[in-house]
Structure 1
Amino acid sequence: MTPVVHPSPEDLCRGHLRDGMRVHVASTMSRPNALVLAMARVFRGVATFEISSNAFHGNMHALTMAGIVRHAITCFAGDTYPSSQPNPLYSGLPGGDPFPVEEWSLLSLLQRLIAGATGSPFAVTTSLVGSDLNRNLPLVERGGRRAVLVPALRPDITLVHATCADRLGNLYLNGPGGEGWWGAMAARDGVLATVEKIVDTPPLEGRSIPADRVLGIAVRAFGAHPQGLPAWPECHFDGYQDDYEYLAELARSCRTAEERAAWVHDKLVAAPERHDGETGGSSTPAPSVVAAGAPSWREKHIVLAARAIVDRVLETGYGTILAGIGTAHVAAWLAAERLGAVGERVQVHAELGLIDMRPAAGDVFLFSQRHVARCRTYGDSLDVLGALVSGGSGKALAVLSAGEIDAEGRINSSRTADGGYFVGSGGANDFASHLETLVVAPASPRRLVPNVSFTTCPGDNVRTVVTQYGRLGRQDPSESFRLHTWLPPDDTPDADPVATMRSRTRWPVPDSRPEPEKPVTDDELAALRKLDPEGVYR
C-alpha cells in the first residue's frame, strides 16, 4: 500500500502520533528538523512521549522546551556548533530534570536499534565496559574479552528526513548515514518522513527505506534545516548548508527561562505551520578572514597536539585517525595535513559516517556539509564505530577532547564539577573502549583531576595526554603518565616543567626530564588559521 502524502509535517504528526508513544528521531548527518518542530507545535501541553535520539541538540531542544519529553534515551545533550558545549536546558539531567534519561554511547545505542530491527531481544557490545554508562547491564566474558548485553530498542514510530521519495512511497537517503536506516527499520509501527521532493525516477545510488515501512510522507523543502543536506544530482537536488546563525541563536535562546519562552513563542506559537528553512538563510558562507599576530595559548595547544599525533602515527604506522569533536578534531585535521606534506597519507574519519574526510578550509565545524562534499566515500555509524573502530584495534588512533581526565586516563564528558550535566559520551566511549587514544585537554585543576567524578570512557587505552605545555605519556595502563615534552608558559619561560604541571593541575606528575618543544612555527600557525580563520579555537 502506498503511504499517504500529507499536506504538512503537522498534519503528519496529528494523523499518526499518540500520547505515550515511543518515538525515535533518526539521524543521518541531519535530522527531520521540520518534523521535530511540528511535533513540538502539535503536542505542546497536550501529550508526552518517550524520545530516543543519538543526540539532543539543535531543533531537538524544541521538544525539551515544549515539555513533551516524558523519558529520553540518548548519547549527547548540548550544543555542537561551533564546538561541543553544555546547554543550560540539561544542567539538571543527572537528577531527572527536565526528564529522566538513559545515557548510552553512539555505538551501543545503534546496536540496540539493530537488535530491534533484526528481531533479537538484545545485542552484545564491547563498548560501555568499565564506564559509568548504564553500569548495571549484564556482563559477559569469553576468551578474556568482556562485553555487556544491551536490550533491543524498538520504538513505535521513527521520524526521518529523506532527500526524496518516489511515487510508490519508497524513501531515499544520501550522504553519511549515521544510524538513520537502522533507526527506521527498528520502528514497530513504521516511519513518518519529510522529503525535499517526490521524484518520478528513483535514484540508483544511496540507501532506501521501503514503502511498506512508511506510514506517511510530507513534502517539506529545507526539511533538515537548520542542518544541511548534501547535493544529489541524480535527484536534481542542489543541497544546502548548515545554518550556523540559526544554531548559534538557538543556543543563546536556551540560557534563561525568559529567552526560552520567547523562542517558544516565536517558533512554536506565533508561527505555526511555518518552517524557517523556507525563508532561506541556510547557506552560511564559509569565512575567509585569517587573523594575524602571535599564537594564542589555545592555538599552541592544538599545534602541540597535532605534533603528538604526527609522531604517534609515524611511530606506529597507523593509517587512520578517528576524530572526536572539539580541539581534538582540529588537531587531527592539522596533523593529517602535516603528514601529507611529508608524503605520509593518513585517513580521518568521523562517527556519523564521514570516511577519509578532507576538511574544507575555513569551516571548523566537524559535521559541516562542506566536509561531506570532500569525503572520499560515505558510510554510516556502524561502518565507522563498528568495523573501523571496534574492529580497528592496532590500525587506528583515536583523538578525543575531554571535560575531565584523571591520572588513570579515565575520561569524563558527562558531569560537571558541581554534579550537573556536561554533554555525554557521543562516540567517545566507543573510541576509547577499542583504540589507542590520544586526549587533547588543557592543563588546569578543573581538567586534569585526581579521579573523575563520572567515568564516560575507561582509561586503559589512553596513552597520551597533550596539554598546552606539552605531552604526557605512558606505555601501559599500569604506569603513571610522565611529562615527555615541554613548552613553558609565556608568563614564566624559565619555569620548572614538572613543578609547573603539578601546580597547574591536580595530577601527581612523576619526576622526568622532558624534551623541549620548539616554538610554534609560522608555517604551523598559517596551516591552523587556514582551517580556523574565524578563531573559534583561538
Structure 2
Amino acid sequence: MTSKRETRQLLGRYFKPELMEGTSKVKPLDEAIREHIKPGMHIYFAYLPFALTYEVIRQFNNRKGDFTVSCLGGVENIVIMATAGLVKRIIASYLGSILPSPVLSGALQQAISNGVVVENWSLLTIVQRLQAAALNLPFMPVRSLENSSMAKENNERGLYKRIIDPFVGEEIGIVKPLRPDITLMHAYCADGAGNAIPALPFTEEAYGAFASKEGVILSVEKIVDTQYLRKNAFNVKVPASVVKCVVEAPFGMHPYGCRGPDGHGYGEDIEFAVELQEALRDFETAKKWIKEWVIDVNSHKEYLKKLTLKRLQKLRERVSYEGWKADAAKIIRRLPDAPANKVERAVIFAAREVVESVKRHRYDSILAGIGISHLAAWIATYMLRFNRVDVQLIVELGLYGYLPPPTQPFLVSTRGMESCLILTDTLNILGFVANNTRVLACISAGQIDKNGNINSTKIGDFFLFGSGGAND
C-alpha cells in the first residue's frame, strides 16, 4: 500500500515540467554555418535571416558557393548573396530591394546577366509547394498561375502541370513540391532545444522548416526557457525535432524590424535601409558595401557593435504604435509648401477610385499590394472608415484589419502590427480570406495593357520584381 507521502513524491517526480527541456543545440553562429552549409546546397530562407545570410557570405568569400536559394520573397539579403557571387539559382515570388519602398537593383540585374537564374512563382504557390513537401504529397492543386507566363515557364521546367479534376471534370493546375536541402530561419525566440516562436506576422508558418530535407539552422532574438514556451504554446510553430542547431543573434533581421507576440522587438532601420538601397543600385558600390558591412566584419557581434548601442536602442523604441505621434510632429515641421508631385497625385487619384469601387460593389476587404498601390489602399481605407463604411485592410503577408500608422509608408511595419485585428499567415490571407470574402485587390505593376493584363516579372531580359501576390 502506497502512503500519502509516497504518492506526493511520485506526483512531484513525474508531473513537474522542467524549466529547460531537451538537449541543448545552442551553437555559435560561425560554427553552425561551418558544420551544416555545404557548396551546391539548395537553401530555403525563412523570416529574413540576415545574420545567418551574412555568415554564409563570410565563410564562402572567395569560395564557390553554387547555391540554389529559395524564399517567399528575395529581399536585400538574397540580392547581397547573389551580388557576392554565391548563387546560381533563385526561386521566389519577388526579388529586389523593397525597404522602405521597391527600387530596381542594378547589382541584381548584373548578377542575372552574370548567369543567375530566376525561377518566378506567385507568393501563394511558393507556400503551397512548401506545404506539399511538408505533407509528403506528390503535388498540390493551385489556381493562381492560370494563363500566366509563370505557368508556361514552370511547365517547361516540369514544375507545373494542368490535370483534370477527377471529381468535377474541370481542368486545374498542380505544382511540384519544393524540398530544400536545409532551411535558414530567424525566429523571435526559442528554447535551447529549438522549439521556436517565429516573428510576427507568421507569414510562412513553419512550412519551410518541415519541407527541408535536413532540417533548420535557427537563429533567434533570444533564448528562453521551455516554461515560457508552454505559457505561449499557441505561438510555438517550430518543434525541436526539425531543428539542427540554435544560434542567439539579436537584431538578426536588421535592417528589417522584428516583433514578437509579447509586443517586444525593434523597428525598421530606415536610414540604414536607404543607404543599402543606394549601394545596391550599382554592382560595384554593392560589392564595396558587402566588403564594409559583411566581409570586414568578423562576426554578428561586431556587426552590432558597428551599428552602435545608441542606434539599436533607438530601433527598440520604434516598435511601439504610439511612437508615430513624435515622428509625425518632426515630419510636419519639415513638410514643404510645394504642390503635390506626380506620385502623390497618382496615389490620391487611385485612393478615390478604390473608395468608389468599394462603395459600388460592397467589398468587405481591400488587399494592399506593394508600391504606391498600398499607399492608395491605406488612404482609401481611412476615408471609408471615416464615413462609417465597414471595410478591412489586408496584406498578403498575414495582416487583417490593419490600420497603418503615419510616418512609415512601407507595406508592413512592426509598429503597425499592433493595430491588426488578426495577425496570421499568407495562406490565411491569400487562400482563405481572398477566396471567401469580397476582396478588392489594389496592386502595382511594371506594365499593363488596355485589357487589364499586367506584367511585373520581366521585360525581355530585364527583370522587374516578380509576381508577389498579384497572381493569387
- Post-superposition shift, 1:132? 0.3
Residue type at the aligned position of 2:49: P
Residue of structure 1 in register with 2:271 after alignment: 245
Tell me which of the two structures has the higher relative contact order, counting C-alpha pairs closer than 8 angstroms and 6 or more residues apart: 2
Of Structure 1 and Structure 2, the greater helix share is in 2
| Distance in 2 of aligned mates of 1:428 and 1:131 | 11
1:377 counterpart letter in structure 2:
I
Query: Shift of the alpha carbon at 1:419?
Result: 3.5
Q: Deviations over 1:106-147 (max 9, x none)?
A: 111110000000001211110111100141231134458543
From the superposition, tell whether residues 255 and 296 of structure 1 become closer, same or farther in structure 2 (CA, over 3 Å). Answer: closer
Structure 1 distance, partners of 2:395, 2:192, is 34
8 Å Cα contact 1:176/1:379 also seen in 2? yes
How far apart, in 2, do the equivalents of 1:69 and 1:175 lie?
A: 28
Distance in 2 between residues matched to 1:218 and 1:53, nearest whole Å: 20
Shift of 1:218: 0.8
Q: Deviations over 1:437-456 (max 9, x none)?
A: xxxxxxxxxxxxxxxxxxxx
- Which residue type is aligned with residue 121 of structure 2? W
Q: Unmatched 5+ residue regions in structure 1?
A: 431-538
1:23 and 2:51 aligned: no
Q: CA deviation at 1:59?
A: 2.1
Aligned equivalents of 2:209, 2:67: Cα separation in 1: 17
Match of 1:80 among 98, 118, 129: 98
Match of 1:219 in 2: 248
Q: Is the Cα–Cα contact under 8 Å of residues 226 and 277 in structure 1 kept in the other structure? A: no
Q: Which amino acid aligns with 1:297?
A: K
Over 3 Å counting, the alpha-carbon distance change for 1:277 and 1:238 in structure 2 is: farther
> Corresponding residue for 2:14?
none
Q: Does 1:128 align with 2:145?
A: yes
Are 1:422 and 2:464 an aligned pair? yes
1:168 matches 2:193? yes
Shift of 1:415: 1.6
Contact persistence 1:22–1:157 (CA under 8 A):
yes
Partner in structure 2 of residue 199 of structure 1: 224
> Is the aligned partner of 1:371 residue 2:413?
no
Unpaired segments ≥5 residues, structure 2: 1-21, 319-323
Alignment-derived partner of residue 27 in structure 2: 6
Structure-2 change in CA distance of 1:256 and 1:87 (3 Å): closer
Aligned counterparts, 1:288-303, within 5 A: 288=328, 289-290=331-332, 291=335, 292-303=337-348
**TM-score, normalisation: structure 1:** 0.74
Secondary structure of 2:26's counterpart equals strand
Q: Given the alignment of the two structures, is residue 159 of structure 1 paired with residue 184 of structure 2, yes or no?
A: yes
Structure 2 vs 1, CA of residues 61 and 297 (structure 1 numbering), >3 Å: closer, same or farther? closer
Q: What is the aligned-residue RMSD (CA, Å)? A: 2.0
Change beyond 3 A, Cα 1:359–1:183: same
Corresponding position of 1:274: 300
CA drift at 1:3: 5.0
CA–CA distance in structure 1, aligned partners of residues 95 and 199 of structure 2: 25
Against the structure 1 CA distance between its residues 97 and 131, is the aligned structure 2 distance closer, same or farther, given a 3 Å change threshold? farther
CA distance in 1, matches of 2:107, 2:440: 34
Distance 1:118 1:401 in 2: 33
Instruction: Quote the residue 1:109 is aligned against.
Output: 126
CA contact (8 A) 1:103 1:424 kept: yes
Aligned partners of 1:125 and 1:277: how far apart in 2?
42
Give the corresponding residue for 1:51: 69
Number of matched pairs: 419
Contact 1:58/1:79 (<8 A) preserved? yes
Identical aligned pairs, as a percentage?
33
Deviations 1:285-343 (A, max 9, x none): 65422334433332222222111111111111111011101111111111111111111
- Equivalent residue in structure 2 for 1:89, among 107, 112, 118: 107
Closer, same or farther: CA 400–223 of 1 in aligned 2, 3 Å: same
Alpha-carbon distance in 2 for matches of 1:173, 1:322: 24
Structure 2 match to 1:521:
none
SS of 2:393's equivalent in the other structure is: strand
| Distance change in 2, residues 1:188/1:219 (3 Å) | same
**Alignment partner of 1:67 is 2:67:** no
Deviations 1:413-470 (A, max 9, x none): 1124x6411111111111xxxxxxxxxxxxxxxxxxxxxxxxxxxxxxxxxxxxxxxx
Give the SS at the match of 2:410. coil
